Amino acid sequence: MMLVPCPNCGPRNSSDLRYVGESHSRPNPNTATPEEWRTYLYMEDNPAGPLKETWYCRSGCRQYFTAVRNTSTNEFENHPLPGAKIGSVDPSFHYVSESKSVEGNQ
């Protein structure tokens, strides 16, 4: 069992939420090559340590939010306060247009 700090609902059991995955910057659709799209779709950092990730509070406020969790201990590093405006946790999660932000190489 793991408590996930939802900014609206407070700490909730992880089974109340859906794990969306690592928060990646999306490449610019106008300039991205197929390889860049596949890198964005498939490549993950998968660190054993702090990870910026997206959750969906499906049984509560039904909002997406970003949190930082240590994947070795499952402890969350930032506990957004209940009532904090969605998106104010980390606005970079939504859209970043620079194609240089694409991570990973092969």
Partner 1 sequence: MTAFKHLLSTSPLASARESASSALGSLKPGSGSKPPRYSAAGLFVKGAKSQDWPRVWREVDLQKSYDVIIIGGGVHGLATAYYLATNHGITNVAVLDKAYLGSGGSGRNTAIVRSNYLTPEGVAFYDRSLSLYNTMSTDLNLNVMFSERGHMTLAHTDGALRTMRWRAEVNKLQDINSSVIDADEVKKLAPSLDTSPNTRYPILGALYHPPGGTIRHDAVVWGYARGADHRGVEMHQKTEVYDILCEGGSGPDGKGPGGKVTGVRTNRGDISAPIVVNCTAGWATTISDMAGVKLPITTHPLQAAVTEPVKVFLPTVVVSGSLHVYVSQTDRGELVFGASVDPYATYSMKGSLEFTEELAGHVLELMPNIGRMRLLRQWAGLCDMTPDYSPIMGFTPVDGFLCDVGWGTYGFKAGPVSGEQMAEAIATKATPKLIEPFKLSRFATGQLVGEKGAAAVGH
List residues binding partner 1 (CB under 8 A): 1-2, 13-15, 18-19, 21-22, 34-35, 38-39, 41-46, 48, 51, 53, 71-74, 104-106
Whole-number minimum distance, CB 88 to partner 1, in Å? 23
Please, are residues 59 and 14 in contact by the beta-carbon 8 Å criterion? no
Q: Say what the alpha-carbon torsion angle 85, 17, 42, 48 is, to the nearest 10 degrees.
A: 90
Closest to partner 1 by CB, 45 or 88: 45
Distance in Å, CB of 15 to partner 1, minimum: 6
Which 3 state secondary structure label does DSSP give 15?
Answer: helix
Beta strand pairing call for 3-6 and 10-13: antiparallel
Q: Give whichever of 14 and 31 is closer to partner 1, judged by the CB atom.
A: 14
* DSSP designation for 17: S
Name the minimum Å distance from CB 92 to partner 1. 20
